[in-house]
Structure formats: structure tokens, C-alpha cells
Amino acid sequence: MTQTTESAVLGEARMLIDGDLVPARSGATFDNINPATEQVLGPVADAGVDDVDAAIAAARRAADNGRWSNDLDFRKRCLLQLHAALVAEREELRREIVAETGSPIVLTYGPQVDGPLDELIPWVVDNADRFEWERELPTGTAFGTESWRRVLKEPVGVVSSIVPWNYPFEVSLVKIAQALIAGNTTILKPAPNTPWNATRIGRLVAEHTDIPAGVLNVVTTADNTIAERLVVDERIDMVSFTGSTAVGKRIYAAGAATMKRLFLELGGKSAAIVLDDADIAAVVPGVAASICAHGGQGCAMVSRLLVPRSRYEEAVAVAEAGMRAVPYGDPTDPSNIQGPQVSAVQRERVLGYISAGVDEGARVVVGGGRPDHLEVGYYVEPTLFADVENSMTIAQEEIFGPVMAMIPFDDDDDAVRIANDSVYGLGLAVLSASENRALSVGKRIRTGTVSINGGMWYGPAAPFGGYKQSGIGRQNGTEGFEQYTETKTIAGPQG
């Protein structure tokens, strides 16, 4: 374990391959950077081809061995051991997440750390007892033969679990818990911007669980060409990826040669629709400001704010007040809801989208640049655009930054049309004085999740994923569990 330049944070530099905590065979490392301070937190192993190959071989061997896939009680016990070990290091994990992601610490008491830590593994273990691993079909009579028939659910095999940098611990835990409880083996590959939470999981597996060698491997690399082996290798049966739609499309294409099973949770350009009977002054400021949480770095966050044309200027005025009141800056300060973007590259990407919005004729109401009072860190000002047309780049492409685009609509049908006019379909919020009216609108949008008047769908029992180019498959819930299984139908002579 490496002592970092920040004494409160310890990072695991080693990978977990075939049950051992190891450096890269070449000895190479890359730096983990704190996006709020731009300082190096410490090193982590930079895997090469040989390291990735060893991890795949170990996972394949463990999958084919049969012990892990055939003993559900053992799998449950091992996952509960991991859960206990993670809980014991909760506060270290919290500090680590804030340091390497730049996430405001307040979010670690929810979806960034405590939510998945407290709920996910216990739910997965409990769901495994309720899951229908086998079911009987009615007696078959095909071809004049009476047959008993049975449907079995079996592991897919070896899963590549590829994780983004925005909510890395949550996504890692979701992927490995569901893959492992279903009897699969997996290679966990974190984003190079946020590797330590994954290597922490690897260390805890090695030191505090009975998970057999090769069942869970953790590989860190800064080289996307090395990581691509986790997609194209024929020994990999499934790729579970969360990240951008652009990368998801490349994975889709690269996996085709070996017909990989895919779960792709991708981008979004979600809308919030404020209907004309809603309390504009009460709801619009909070909806506008919501894009600033964690610097807007969330795939299901609403980034298009649709308001009635008849009340547009009123809505812009109260949205402006909401955005100007957003507390942002040092992520260790519990009063802040917005920290930095995860990297200099991401900051420049967001600023580029803001420039595109200006060039295409949208009006900057709040923000629009780098904050003068924060000279260090990858910060972008909370930014509100008005006079946005849905055809503009800032209304069509995922910015992944603290940028809200306000778009007027004429009536409910127009709002539905605008919300659906997107290649994405991940999230939606509808606000109205009438829940039935909001539900009616929500059901007409092609999207995977809908929040009605602030309702929260989030949790391990709730399937999460999107329509259209927001992905394939679902994370969490029974639907998420099933995608890590294969289905086998067996028949034999009756009686």
C-alpha cells in the first residue's frame, strides 16, 4: 500500500491477479491525480499485455473449475465477507473516493459510497435465495412423446467488468456482486482516473475473503489498447460496460467477432419537463441546480429543462437564482454539492461545449467559464443557457458537466416531442400539480427511468438502463441479475 501526499488517503498500488496482489510485470505505474488539487495522490500498477492475459487466464480457469459456479451458499458467504471488509474500511473508502473522483463528500453519504455499500451486497445475496434457478415446464407432447421439461439458469462464464470514473465504487460493486453471485468469474477494470477504489476491493478480497484465486481479478491500466483485450479475447464470455455511448459503440463492434454477451449502460441527455400547472418558483430552481451535483458528471442527470413557453421568462429568472446559489468548490467541504471535473481533459471538453452553445446562438445566463476564485483544480462554473433550441449541440450531446439548457414548449404534446427528440433515452423527470398528468406524460417518453414529482427510483432492486443509444440491458433488479446467466432447457421421457 502506498502512502500518498495527502496523509488522510491511502491507496493500493497493486493489482489482484489469480489470487495474488501484484505490481505490473514490467514494473510500470501511472499516477492517480486529485482533480481538486491537481496533485499526485500516488501510483498504481500500469498493466501490460502479459498482465491482462494472466488475469483472463485465471478467470477462465476458475470459471471452468466448477467449484465457484456450483456452490451458491459458498458464493453468498464469500460476498458477505467482502461486504464486512468494505464496511470496516468505510471512512478510508470515503476519503479515497473524494480524493480521486473530486466528488463532494456529501454525495458519499448517498450513491457515491454509503448507498451501495450498505444495500447492494445484502440485497444481491438475499435475491439469490429468491431467484428461480430452476423451473418446471408443463409436460411436453412434441412428436408424440411425453417429456418432462426443465429450465435452468447457469453462469455466463467469464465477465469483463469495465467501470467509469464518475461513480466508480458504486458501479464496480454492482457489476462484481451480480456477476459473482450468479456464479461467474470476472476481471474488474477501473477507469485510469479513479483506480484506487477498485484496487482496494482487490486487496480486501485477497486479505479478508475465501473467494478462490481467479474468481475476481482487478487490472489497472492507462492504455486503452491494453484494456481492449478484455473485449476481444475469445476467453471472455460477456462484457459489462458502463461509460460513454461512443466507447460503447466501439465495444459493440469489437465484441461482434466472438458474439460477446453485452451489457452496455451508456450516455444520456435526459429532460426535466415542468408542466404549466406546476409551481414554477418552487420547483425550477432546484431542477436547474441539480445538474451541478458532482459537476454534472452523471449519465442519468437531467440536463435539458423544458418549461412552458407562456411562462418562459419567469422560469429563466428563477432558474438563474437557483444556479447562482449553487455551493461549489473544495469537495471535502460538506456545504458544497459541486466539485471539479475529473480531469483537465474533461474540463476542456465541457468548456468546448459551452463555446459551441454560444456560437450556435444560445444565451449564457449564469457562468460559462472557469471560476476566477478557484485557481487550482479542474473547475467549471455552474452554467445556465437560455434561448436553447433542441437541435443545438448543447441540447443533443452529452456534456457531462454543470451545464443546463432551458428549452420552451407549447403544450404537453410539444414537450413529449422535444423530450423524445434525442438519440438517448436514459432518464426523465416530470413535475406537475397532477400526478396523473405527470404519469401520462412520463409514459410517453422513450426512456429507462422516470421521476414523477421528485420520486426516486434508485436502489439495488430497481432496474436501471436506457432506450435507444443509452444502452443495452439493465443494471440491478432481477433484470440485472438475469443478464449474468445463460438459459438451458432440458427434457427427458416422462414416467
By annotation, the residues acting in catalysis are 265, 299
User: Which residues does 171 contact at the CB level (< 8 Å), separation at least 6?
Assistant: 163, 164, 242
Torsion of CA 364, 369, 373, 379, to 10 degrees: 120
Set of cell numbers at residue 70:
456450483
Residue 321 dihedral angles phi and psi, to the nearest 5°: -60, -40
- Listing DSSP states for 147-162 in one string gives EEEEEEEEE--EEEEE
Per DSSP, what are the bridge partners of residue 262? 239
Angle between helix 72-88 and helix 90-101 axes, rounded to 10 deg = 70
Q: Could you give the CA distance from residue 332 to residue 335 in angstroms, rounded to a whole number?
A: 9
Per DSSP, what are the bridge partners of residue 408? 307
User: Which residues does 216 contact at the CB level (< 8 Å), separation at least 6?
Assistant: 16, 176, 180, 185, 186, 188, 201, 202, 205
Using alpha carbons, list the distances in angstroms from residue 118 to 111, 255, 264, 459: 10, 34, 25, 11
Biggest CA-to-CA distance, the chain? 81
Angle between helix 90-101 and helix 114-130 axes, rounded to 10 deg = 120
How is the beta sheet containing 134-140 ordered, strand by strand? 134-140, 147-155, 485-493
Which residue's C-alpha cell is 471535473? 341
